[in-house]
C-alpha cells in the first residue's frame, strides 16, 4: 500500500495525456561534474565561491530535490542550470552540450508567482508560448486551457491574478512553466511563501501534474519533508563551498499521496536527510573555526 507500485500513471510512462509529441533523441539529461561557480560582489574585487566541486546526474524523467540551508549556493546552482549564471569551472551539460544561456528547453518556477496582473489565468498560461512563437494562437490557447484544467483552475480560467489566492497563483505559475513543454522544469522554492496546508496539497498536485506530463524536474528547497515527499532522489547541499554532500534515494513510486507522510519510513528518510544536512553545516562551521585559529 505504501509503495504504490500502480504503474497506470507512472512518471516514466511516455503516453501521458495531452502531450502531442514525445521528444525523441538520446538520454536527455543534465550532467554536472566538478562545477565551480564564482562571482565578484558588485563594487569590490573580492571573489565569492558559491559552488565548488558539485556533481549531479539527472536522467530523463527524474525528480530531484536539492535541499540545503539558506545561502549555501543551491539557488546559484539552479540559476546556472537555467542559464542565468555562468559557471567558472567544471562541466555543466544538458544533453552533452554546455548551457549557453536561458532557453525554451528549460522553464523556471520562481518562489513568487509573478503573474502578469493584466492577464487572465488562461492568458498568463499562454504567455511563454506567445513569446517563443512556437505555437499558433489557437494552439497556445488550447494547450493553456488543458493545463488550466490539469492544475484544477478551470473555474477561475477567466479571473485576474488579483482575484486569486496564493495557492491558486502558484498553480498558474506551474501551469505557465509547463505550457512551454520544457525538457527540464526548474523549481526554486515554489511553495515557500504558501501556507502549510496549501503547500502540502500543492506538493501532491505537483507530483500528479508531473506524472501526467512526464516532467523531468530539479526542485530546490530548504524544507526537508518537502524534499523527501517529492523526490526520487534527494541531494543534500552543503555550505561553503556549495556542493552535494550526500544523495539519498527515496523508495516510493510517484505520484504519492499524503499517507506516506505518516509512516515511520518517511520519518526515517527525513532523519537521514537532516543528519546529512546538519552534519554538513557543522563541518562547515568547524572549517570556519579552524580558519580563525
Partner 1 sequence: MTIASSAVRSSSSRSTAPQPRTPRRPKPSPRRPSWLNQRRVIGVGSVVVIIAIWELVALAHLKPALILPGPVDVVRAFKDLFSTGAIWTDLGTSGTELVVGLGLAAVVGLPLGLLIGWYERISYALNPIINFLYATPRIALTPLLIIWLGIGSSSKIAIVFLMAFFPVLINTAQGMQSLEQGVVRVARCFGANDLQLFRTVALPGTVPFIISGLRLAVGQALIGVFVAELSGAQHGVGLMMNTAGQQFQTSKVFAGLFIFAFAGVTLTYLLRRIEQHYAAWRPSSR
Residue 213 cell numbers, joined: 506530463
Interface with partner 1, residue 40, by CB under 8 A: no
> Residue 186 Cβ, how far from partner 1 at the closest point, in Å?
9
Check: CB of residue 208 under 8 Å from CB of residue 255: yes
Distance CA(83)–CA(29), nearest Å, equals: 15
Interface with partner 1, residue 107, by CB under 8 A: yes
Rounded-to-5 percentages of helix, strand, coil across the chain:
40, 20, 40
Interface with partner 1, residue 163, by CB under 8 A: yes
- Which is closer to partner 1, CB of 125 or CB of 260? 125
1, 98, 162, 292: residue in contact with partner 1 (rule CB under 8 A):
162
Interface with partner 1, residue 160, by CB under 8 A: yes
Interface with partner 1, residue 78, by CB under 8 A: no
Of 169, 180, 82, 58, nearest to 130 by C-alpha is 180
128, 241, 242, 255: residue in contact with partner 1 (rule CB under 8 A):
128
**57, 86, 106 from 91: Cα distances, Å:** 11, 11, 18
Of the candidate spans 129-137, 201-209, 234-242, 275-283, the one that interacts with partner 1 by CB under 8 A turns out to be 129-137
- Which is closer to partner 1, CB of 155 or CB of 288? 155
Interface with partner 1, residue 271, by CB under 8 A: no
- Which is closer to partner 1, CB of 83 or CB of 242? 83
Distance CA(211)–CA(61), nearest Å, equals: 9
- Give the DSSP H/E element, type plus range, for residue 99: none
Of the candidate spans 24-32, 33-41, 125-133, 139-147, the one that interacts with partner 1 by CB under 8 A turns out to be 125-133
Interface with partner 1, residue 259, by CB under 8 A: no
Residue 151 cell numbers, joined: 492544475
Sequence-distant (≥ 6) Cβ neighbours of residue 130 within 8 angstroms: 137, 140
At 46, give phi and psi (nearest 5°).
Answer: -65, 130
- Which is closer to partner 1, CB of 111 or CB of 198? 111
Residue 38 cell numbers, joined: 564564482
> Residue 179 Cβ, how far from partner 1 at the closest point, in Å?
10
28, 64, 82, 185: residue in contact with partner 1 (rule CB under 8 A):
82
- Which is closer to partner 1, CB of 128 or CB of 242? 128
Distance CA(149)–CA(136), nearest Å, equals: 20
List binders of partner 1 among 172-201 (CB under 8 A). Answer: 180
**36, 105, 110 from 82: Cα distances, Å:** 15, 9, 12
48, 131, 267, 268: residue in contact with partner 1 (rule CB under 8 A):
131
Check: CB of residue 241 under 8 Å from CB of residue 256: no
Of the candidate spans 12-20, 156-164, 191-199, 268-276, the one that interacts with partner 1 by CB under 8 A turns out to be 156-164
> Residue 135 Cβ, how far from partner 1 at the closest point, in Å?
13
Distance CA(265)–CA(2), nearest Å, equals: 10
Distance CA(204)–CA(199), nearest Å, equals: 9
Interface with partner 1, residue 119, by CB under 8 A: yes
* Interface ranges with partner 1 (CB under 8 A): 82, 84, 102-104, 107-108, 110, 112, 114-119, 127-128, 130-132, 155, 160-163, 180
Amino acid at each position: 500500500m505504501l509503495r504504490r507500485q500502480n504503474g497506470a500513471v507512472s512518471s516514466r510512462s511516455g503516453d501521458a495525456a495531452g502531450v502531442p509529441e514525445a521528444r525523441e533523441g538520446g538520454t536527455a539529461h543534465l550532467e554536472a561534474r566538478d562545477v565551480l561557480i564564482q562571482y565578484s560582489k558588485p563594487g569590490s574585487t573580492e571573489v565569492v565561491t558559491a559552488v565548488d566541486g558539485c556533481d549531479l546526474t539527472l536522467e530523463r524523467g527524474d525528480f530531484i530535490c536539492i535541499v540545503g540551508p539558506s545561502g549555501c549556493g543551491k539557488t546559484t546552482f539552479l540559476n546556472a542550470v537555467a542559464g542565468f549564471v555562468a559557471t567558472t569551472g567544471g562541466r555543466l551539460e544538458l544533453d552533452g552540450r554546455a548551457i549557453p544561456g536561458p532557453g525554451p528547453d528549460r522553464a523556471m518556477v520562481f518562489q513568487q508567482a509573478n503573474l502578469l496582473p493584466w492577464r487572465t489565468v488562461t492568458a498568463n498560461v499562454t504567455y511563454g508560448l506567445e513569446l517563443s512563437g512556437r505555437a499558433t494562437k489557437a494552439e497556445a490557447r488550447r494547450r493553456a486551457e488543458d493545463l488550466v484544467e490539469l492544475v484544477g483552475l478551470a473555474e477561475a480560467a477567466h479571473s485576474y491574478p488579483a482575484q486569486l489566492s496564493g495557492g491558486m497563483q502558484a498553480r498558474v505559475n506551474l501551469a505557465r512553466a509547463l505550457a512551454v513543454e520544457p525538457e527540464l522544469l526548474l523549481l526554486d522554492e515554489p511553495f515557500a511563501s504558501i501556507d502549510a496546508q496549501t503547500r502540502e496539497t500543492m506538493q501532491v498536485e505537483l507530483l500528479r501534474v508531473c506524472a501526467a506530463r512526464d516532467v523531468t524536474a530539479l526542485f530546490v528547497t530548504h524544507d526537508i519533508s518537502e524534499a523527501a515527499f517529492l523526490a526520487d532522489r534527494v541531494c543534500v547541499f552543503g555550505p561553503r563551498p556549495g556542493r552535494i554532500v550526500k544523495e539519498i534515494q527515496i523508495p516510493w513510486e510517484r505520484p504519492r499521496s499524503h499517507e506516506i507522510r505518516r509512516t515511520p519510513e518517511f520519518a526515517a528518510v527525513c532523519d537521514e536527510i537532516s543528519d546529512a544536512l546538519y552534519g554538513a553545516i557543522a563541518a562547515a562551521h568547524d572549517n570556519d573555526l579552524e580558519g580563525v585559529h
